[in-house]
């Protein structure tokens, strides 16, 4: 039985719920550990027409991206205004702090904004990264060259998930996922669309990432000359995070996906036909079955149409006949832990 190196996932990932008041204020996490986030992603749960908002400490406060749109980076001085020792601060922007609206914020820890930099080298972009190797997460910023090149990610292990956005232009978000087809380096997904997976060598140059670098080719979404990009990179950590695939069966007794931990947060996307990226978590719905969801590619409010999944001690179980368990649907997923199934001392969490 494999042990984790992370007994307390809340030291690296947390979810906060809060009610907006359109007043400058701080949001404090309530996990077992204090968490100073480096990537904050928030969403209004109540009302349609409110975008997803993403901020990170590499780009700095006041710089907003919207994962559900193709929009370039927006200057938003009243969005996330600080990354605090155990949470983050908000200004008065109504997209993240509308009076009386309910919000969810997913947060990951990288390296406190401290970056390692590198210069442009031939076709390899210049930029930098901040990495949390313990939790397998790094934020990479770079300036494109327009020709196939590599970028250091700092993880010290092969990334399973890479999410890239052109900060300067109205480009779609490009996504690499290691379980997306049998040759994932030849294919890509789009975060802000429902599109199925597509084959295109201009994204990753048909080259798989390594333990030190990932490759970007000539697609404008990932590597236009002299344009600025941000990439969020993840490698799986036993008992904390997992990135994989499964096949739906369209049955209430649906697919079981073993993760080695009790999930706190899951995103699932059907890749063999059009479907949204479903976001499910244990804060908005602490008890099974988990039915409340938002979609990455939509500005709609939170919905709850039917039972979706159960979060179990060692994975998640699909319970519905709809997404994310449509018959013969091929799905990729990303999952982060509430608690490991087996601790670093080899003790099952249920025995603690």
Count of domains forming the chain: 3
Q: pLDDT band at residue 346, thresholds of 50, 70 and 90? A: low
Domain-ending residue, one of 206, 234, 262? 234
Percentage with pLDDT > 90 across the chain: 92
In 3D, which of 122, 172, 170, 173 has the Cα closest to residue 146? 122
205, 136: one domain: yes
- Choosing from 78, 108, 138, the residue where a domain stops is 108
Whole-angstrom distance, CA of residue 135 vs CA of residue 42: 21
183 in the same domain as 253: no
Q: Is residue 259 domain-shared with residue 217, that is, in the same domain?
A: no
Give the number of other Cβ atoms within 10 Å of residue 20's Cβ: 22
> Over 80: is that where the pLDDT of 278 sits?
yes
pLDDT at residue 307 in the model: 78
Q: CA-to-CA distance for 53 and 79, rounded, in angstroms?
A: 9
pLDDT of the residue at 348: 62
Q: Please write the tens of the pLDDT for every residue from 93-125.
A: 999 999 999 999 999 999 999 999 999 999 999
In this model, does residue 3 exceed pLDDT 90? no
User: Residue 216 belongs to what domain range?
Assistant: 116-234
Q: Is residue 286 part of a domain?
A: yes
Measured distance CA(241)–CA(248) in Å, rounded: 21
Mean pLDDT across 174-187: 98
Read off the pTM. 0.96
Six-digit token string for 56: 């990170």
């Amino acid at each position: 039985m494999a042990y984790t190196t992370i007994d307390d996932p809340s030291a690296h990932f947390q979810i906060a719920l809060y009610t907006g008041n359109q007043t400058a204020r701080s949001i404090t996490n309530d996990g077992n550990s204090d968490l100073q986030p480096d990537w904050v992603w928030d969403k209004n749960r109540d009302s349609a027409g409110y975008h997803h908002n993403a901020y990170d400490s590499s780009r700095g406060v006041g710089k907003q991206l919207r994962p559900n749109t193709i929009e370039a980076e927006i200057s938003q001085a009243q969005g996330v205004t600080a990354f605090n020792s155990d949470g983050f601060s908000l200004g008065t922007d109504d997209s993240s702090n509308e009076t009386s609206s309910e919000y969810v914020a997913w947060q990951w820890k990288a390296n406190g904004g401290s970056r390692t930099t590198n210069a442009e080298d031939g076709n390899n972009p210049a930029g930098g990264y901040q990495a949390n190797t313990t939790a397998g997460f790094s934020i990479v910023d770079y300036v494109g060259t327009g020709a196939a090149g590599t970028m250091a990610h700092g993880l010290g292990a092969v990334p399973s998930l890479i999410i890239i956005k052109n900060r300067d232009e109205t480009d779609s978000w490009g996504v690499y996922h290691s379980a997306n087809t049998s040759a994932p380096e030849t294919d890509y997904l789009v975060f802000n669309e429902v599109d199925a997976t597509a084959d295109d060598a201009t994204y990753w140059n048909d080259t798989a990432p390594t333990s030190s670098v990932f490759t970007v080719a000539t697609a404008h979404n990932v590597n236009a000359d002299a344009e600025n990009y941000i990439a969020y990179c993840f490698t799986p950590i036993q008992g904390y995070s997992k990135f994989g695939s499964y096949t739906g069966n369209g049955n209430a007794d649906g697919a079981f996906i073993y993760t080695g931990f009790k999930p706190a947060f899951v995103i699932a996307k059907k890749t063999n036909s059009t479907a949204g990226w479903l976001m499910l978590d244990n804060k908005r719905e602490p008890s099974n079955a988990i039915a409340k969801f938002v979609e990455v590619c939509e500005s709609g409010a939170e919905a709850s149409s039917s039972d979706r999944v159960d979060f179990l001690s060692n994975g998640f179980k699909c319970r519905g006949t709809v997404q994310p368990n449509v018959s013969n649907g091929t799905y990729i997923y990303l999952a982060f832990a509430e608690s490991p199934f087996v601790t670093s001392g080899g003790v099952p969490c249920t025995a603690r």
